[in-house]
Amino acid sequence: MSNDNVSAPKAANQNGSARARAAKAAEGIGDNPVALLAGGIALGVVIGMLLPRSAKERELLDPVGRQLADRATATASAVKQAGKQEIESLLPGRDATKERATALFGNLLEAAKGAGQKA
């Protein structure tokens, strides 16, 4: 028996297992189309980043990019302002807090006086 005859079944077995793994991977992808979509988008972004931009592309897309950046900045500012207002509405005002602290301090003084008289 030569080496060729012995290695032929091994090669066939490896090809069969590779095909089985490929089929199993294809089934897994079919079961999770969201992962396939996310992977495709990620691959597209990477390829897009690697390709150089043309002058025409810059000319057409720069204004769109500026508009998107301006809108994102305005949205972030509006969200920040709304968050500030929400927090301020949840927290008591300075005057109310001052009144509560004064009342609490007065109650503590009265309790201390009462404890001193009992002792």
Listed as own residue / partner, the contacts of 84-90 with beta carbons closer than 8 Å and 24 or more positions apart are none
Residues 35, 29 contacting (CB under 8 angstroms): yes
- In this structure, which amino acid lies at residue 117? Q
Is residue 12 over pLDDT 60? no
Give the integer Cα–Cα distance in Å for 119 and 113.
10
Confidence of residue 24 (pLDDT cuts 50, 70, 90): confident
pTM of the model: 0.36
Q: Evaluate whether 42 touches 36 at the Cβ level (below 8 Å).
A: no
pLDDT digit string, tens, across residues 100-114:
888 888 888 888 777
Cα–Cα distance for residue pair 84/79, rounded to 1 Å: 9
What is the per-residue pLDDT across 53-91, written as a single tens digit (0 to 9) for each? 788 888 888 899 899 999 999 999 999 998 888 887 777
Residue 16 has pLDDT above 60, yes or no: yes
